[in-house]
A and B are shown apart, each in its own frame.
Chain A
Amino acid sequence: MMNNPRRGKLLAITAVACLGLAAAACSSSNTSSSGGSSSAPSAAAAPVEIVVDTFGGGSNFGYKNAIEKWNASHTDIKIKEDHRTDQFEQEFWPQMIQQLQAGAGAGDVVGIDEGGMGLAAAHPEWWTDLSKYGLAGREGDYPAYKWGGGKTADGMLFGLGTDIGGMSVCYRSDLFKKAGLPTNRDEVAALWPTWDDFLKIGAQFQAKVKDTKFVDGTNTLYNVVLVQEAAKNGNVMYFDKSNQLIVDKNPAVKTAFDFATKLTQQNLTAKMRNFTPEWSTGTQKGAFAVLGCPSWMLGVVSGNAGDGGKGKWDVANVPGDGGNWGGSWLAVPAQTKHPAEAAKVADYLTSTEVEASIFKDFGNMPSNSKSLADPSVQSATNPFFSDAPIGQIFAKSAAALQPVYLGIKHAQVKNAIESVVQGIDDRSIPFDTSWQKLVDDAVKAAG
């Protein structure tokens, strides 16, 4: 081996340079993070961007117009909506939990569905105390249960209510006409005072119309019946108020599951799971004629169906009356660099005017009682749904609304149960063992 000292020196320099590069790569993260924090105070001059994380199909939270309006009139704070995904339990919430726990990655304001609020309330360290930013005074705007839902176990205010579910049925009046059924929304509501009547109408519809199924799938109506029944059974669903799993004991779950089973046994479903791409396409292509519709679902349907669906859809009273499915809150994570600005944005997006205008534009029913009482909300109609008087339809159910207790692990259990409800629809679970599977999977998910 030729030992050339000059080459040796060159190699040594190269090696040192390589190691130096590696070291620089390691240390660069430190410098950039310190640079980031030092630039934060000086950023006061430039507008602060507040990112609002949302979820849901179609027009989801309905913030489009409200954000445009804010950004047009504010120079100090700009709002940016980050709509992450359609799906809450399986996509949005697990990702959000990781980011909240890690202390990085979440937006400045985040939307939380009712199914996540139990866990959120159990983790005060994740959130900014909104009462520090003068929002305790909003208490008068809300019914007691919605206000209380935004507090942690030790009473810290972390969430402001956005919408509530309410309940109705969306239906395709053009397809009802084809099936020889009445199309007027009052007459349609009169067809189905009970869920048994609903099944009978479904059979009539299906006998006349072959290429369109009566309902979307098992899950949407399972949830509608479940929330109605939960209100009759002590306002609990999968967990009792001491967080014990009661899936096998709560008659509400069994009743709703039996109804879902009947729907699919009588071949009334298009076998589509809600909030999937096929389901969105199905809404657009008219794969089904009826859908359980909490108020926020109106925006999902109109968003999925597009302009082609305008005037074909209508809204009628739900069989069995009332029920509340869904509804969300806005919270400010503790990790935000701009808690004051974020609190302002959360305050604005849940304000009386904004919640009222979202209802008129998209259909999400306000949880803010002042918005609900607003005459323009009471008299609101929805042009997409054949000018249905949604103000009247939903205000009725809002008055009777009762909060259902959901529990800390609600999201996981709901996810497991809805898989089974889907499984009976796609026939991968036999009917005779399906209830046992539902209970077993729920127990497993509750851990």
Chain B
Amino acid sequence: MSLHLESEPAARVGPPRRGRHGTPSQGRSFRSWFDLRAMPYALVSPYFLLFAAFGLFPLAFTLYYSLFKYDLTGTVEWTGLGNYTKLLADSDFWNAVVNTVAMFAIATVPQLLLALFLANALNKRIRGRLFIRMGVLLPLVTSVVAVAVVFTQLYGRDWGLINWILSHFGVEKIDWRAERIPSWIAISTMVDWRWTGYNAIIFLAGMQTIPKDLYEAAAIDGASRRRQFWQITLPMLRPTLIFVTLISTIGGLTLFAEPTTFYNGNVEGGSVHQFQTVAMFIVKEGFREFNYGYAAAAAWLLFLLILIGALINFLFVRRIGGSK
């Protein structure tokens, strides 16, 4: 209302509207053109300038140098697609791909299911709702490295809490960092501990946009709670599901901090790379062995892997809740 009151006298007092038609002032018409056409671009430009500097440029730069044999301490030499063919034949690279995809699957599937379940529970009328919702989000505010350091101690072979507990059930000491699958599980629990709550809150936000009358109508028709979840909540949640799945795919396939911290900040990921991810492989090649070109090529293959992963998940999630 106040806006309305202000703008009306301004229009009546000044003669700008008539003046614009009367005098052909070049400056003013430029300003009005600038205001109408260019201003929106100028206002959004800071983001795009930053993106160009820190996103697009490195991307193009990486692509360019992936075509060279570029050794930090040596020379730069054109190899064309040589780095890519070498990578596709490199068993260490494929090992890293398998580790990454496996840890992504072990971490993400239970994580999203648990998050969905949590969100559904939090969406009900319960006591201390706000408190519980905040609590679910709490792990997210701790630093990744702090989480990884604590979990690494829990998973210690000789003095770790988890092996100590397992020993009461007659389980032999598990060498969490030497055995492949235990190491994947250990790292997946770190990821899940930190991200389940976050995804639950996103799901919860999505659930709250679903109109209540749908549930009321379903209840009147005699649909059970479970039926309501499958027939109403899940289909209506599809856009949120797609978002969460894409974000988790990107996060899962670029996993780095947890497995690195799990091996004392070492990007080898175990004595025979039991849990070395592709991101760790890139850092190892680029910043431990200084094969910049090779690391750049690996980074582009990771990008492709993420695209493929995201596409598969997108197609998969789109089918959830039947087609419309």
Q: Which residues of A contact B45 (CB under 8 A)?
A: 19
Residue of A nearest to B34 (CB): A12
Residue of B nearest to A437 (CB): B272
- 0/1 string, A407-447, CB within 8 A of B gives 1: 00000100100011011011111000000000000001101
Task: Please tell me which one of the listed residues B32, B42, B288 contacts residue A94 in the complex, with CB atoms under 8 A apart.
Answer: B288
- A254 CA to B312 CA in the complex, in Å? 48
Task: Please tell me which one of the listed residues A98, A429, A447 contacts residue B72 in the complex, with CB atoms under 8 A apart.
Answer: A98
Interface presence of A97 (CB below 8 A): yes
Task: Please judge, given known A-B contacts A5-B16, A6-B10, A123-B73, whether A12 and B39 are in contact too, CB under 8 Å.
Answer: yes
Residue of B nearest to A15 (CB): B42
Residue of A nearest to B45 (CB): A19
Q: Which residues of A contact B36 (CB under 8 A)?
A: 3
Q: In the complex, what's the smallest C-beta–C-beta distance from A279 to chain B, in angstroms?
A: 10
- 0/1 string, A269-310, CB within 8 A of B gives 1: 011010011100110010100000000000000000000000
Contact, CB under 8 Å: B264 / A276: yes
Contact, CB under 8 Å: B158 / A90: no
- 0/1 string, B257-270, CB within 8 A of A gives 1: 00000001110101
Interface presence of B271 (CB below 8 A): yes
Contact, CB under 8 Å: A428 / B270: yes
Secondary structure at the A interface, as helix, strand, loop or mixed, is: helix
Task: Please judge, given known A-B contacts A22-B46, A98-B72, whether A8 and B7 are in contact too, CB under 8 Å.
Answer: no
Q: Which residues of A contact B31 (CB under 8 A)?
A: 8, 12
Contact, CB under 8 Å: A426 / B178: yes
Interface residues of B in 1-43 (CB under 8 A from A): 7, 10, 16, 31-32, 34-36, 39, 42-43
Q: Which residues of A contact B159 (CB under 8 A)?
A: 281, 285
Task: Please judge, given known A-B contacts A287-B158, A447-B291, whether A427 and B35 are in contact too, CB under 8 Å.
Answer: no
Interface presence of A40 (CB below 8 A): no
Residue of B nearest to A1 (CB): B36
- A3 CA to B180 CA in the complex, in Å? 66
- 0/1 string, A303-342, CB within 8 A of B gives 1: 0000000000000000000000000000000000000000
Task: Please judge, given known A-B contacts A97-B73, A271-B175, A277-B264, whether A420 and B34 are in contact too, CB under 8 Å.
Answer: no
- A419 CA to B157 CA in the complex, in Å? 18
- A22 CA to B178 CA in the complex, in Å? 49
- A444 CA to B93 CA in the complex, in Å? 13
- A355 CA to B297 CA in the complex, in Å? 47
Interface presence of B252 (CB below 8 A): no
Task: Please tell me which one of the listed residues B39, B73, B175, B287 contacts residue A11 in the complex, with CB atoms under 8 A apart.
Answer: B39
Task: Please tell me which one of the listed residues B16, B39, B73, B156 contacts residue A278 in the complex, with CB atoms under 8 A apart.
Answer: B156
Contact, CB under 8 Å: A15 / B157: no
Task: Please judge, given known A-B contacts A15-B39, A97-B73, whether A445 and B274 are in contact too, CB under 8 Å.
Answer: no
Interface residues of A in 361-384 (CB under 8 A from B): none
Interface residues of B in 275-308 (CB under 8 A from A): 287-291
Residue of A nearest to B53 (CB): A26
Q: Which residues of B contact A277 (CB under 8 A)?
A: 264
Interface presence of A91 (CB below 8 A): yes
Task: Please tell me which one of the listed residues A11, A101, A445 contacts residue B35 in the complex, with CB atoms under 8 A apart.
Answer: A11
- A11 CA to B272 CA in the complex, in Å? 59
Task: Please judge, given known A-B contacts A4-B7, A22-B49, A94-B288, whether A419 and B271 are in contact too, CB under 8 Å.
Answer: yes
Contact, CB under 8 Å: A19 / B42: yes
Interface presence of A119 (CB below 8 A): yes
Which interface residue of A94, A419, A423 has the most chain B CB atoms within 10 A?
A94
Contact, CB under 8 Å: B32 / A3: yes
Contact, CB under 8 Å: A422 / B271: yes
Q: Which residues of A contact B73 (CB under 8 A)?
A: 97, 101, 119, 122-123
Contact, CB under 8 Å: A91 / B265: yes
- A19 CA to B35 CA in the complex, in Å? 16
Contact, CB under 8 Å: B72 / A97: yes
Contact, CB under 8 Å: B157 / A278: yes
- 0/1 string, A14-52, CB within 8 A of B gives 1: 110011001000000000000000000000000000000
Contact, CB under 8 Å: B43 / A447: no
- A427 CA to B42 CA in the complex, in Å? 61
Contact, CB under 8 Å: A8 / B271: no
Contact, CB under 8 Å: B32 / A4: no
Q: In the complex, what's the smallest C-beta–C-beta distance from A243 to chain B, in angstroms?
A: 13
Q: In the complex, what's the smallest C-beta–C-beta distance from A264 to chain B, in angstroms?
A: 12
Interface presence of A144 (CB below 8 A): no
Contact, CB under 8 Å: B72 / A101: yes
Q: Which residues of B contact A287 (CB under 8 A)?
A: 158
- A412 CA to B266 CA in the complex, in Å? 14
Residue of A nearest to B3 (CB): A2
Residue of A nearest to B289 (CB): A412
24 contacts between A and B (CB under 8 A): A2-B7, A3-B32, A8-B32, A8-B35, A11-B35, A11-B39, A12-B35, A14-B43, A15-B42, A19-B45, A94-B290, A122-B73, A270-B158, A271-B157, A277-B264, A278-B157, A412-B288, A415-B268, A419-B271, A423-B272, A425-B271, A426-B178, A428-B271, A444-B92
Supply 15 further A-B pairs (C-beta < 8 A) apart from A278-B156, A415-B268, A429-B271: A4-B7, A4-B10, A15-B39, A22-B46, A94-B288, A278-B157, A281-B158, A282-B158, A419-B268, A420-B271, A420-B272, A427-B178, A428-B179, A428-B271, A428-B274
Chain B residues with CB under 8 Å of chain A are 7, 10, 16, 31-32, 34-36, 39, 42-43, 45-46, 49, 72-73, 92, 156-159, 175, 177-180, 264-266, 268, 270-272, 274, 287-291
Chain A residues with CB under 8 Å of chain B are 2-6, 8, 11-12, 14-15, 18-19, 22, 87, 90-91, 94, 97-98, 101, 119, 122-123, 270-271, 273, 276-278, 281-282, 285, 287, 412, 415, 419-420, 422-423, 425-429, 444-445, 447
Give the 7 A-B residue pairs with the shortest CB-CB distance, closest first: A426-B178, A423-B271, A422-B271, A8-B35, A15-B42, A428-B272, A94-B288
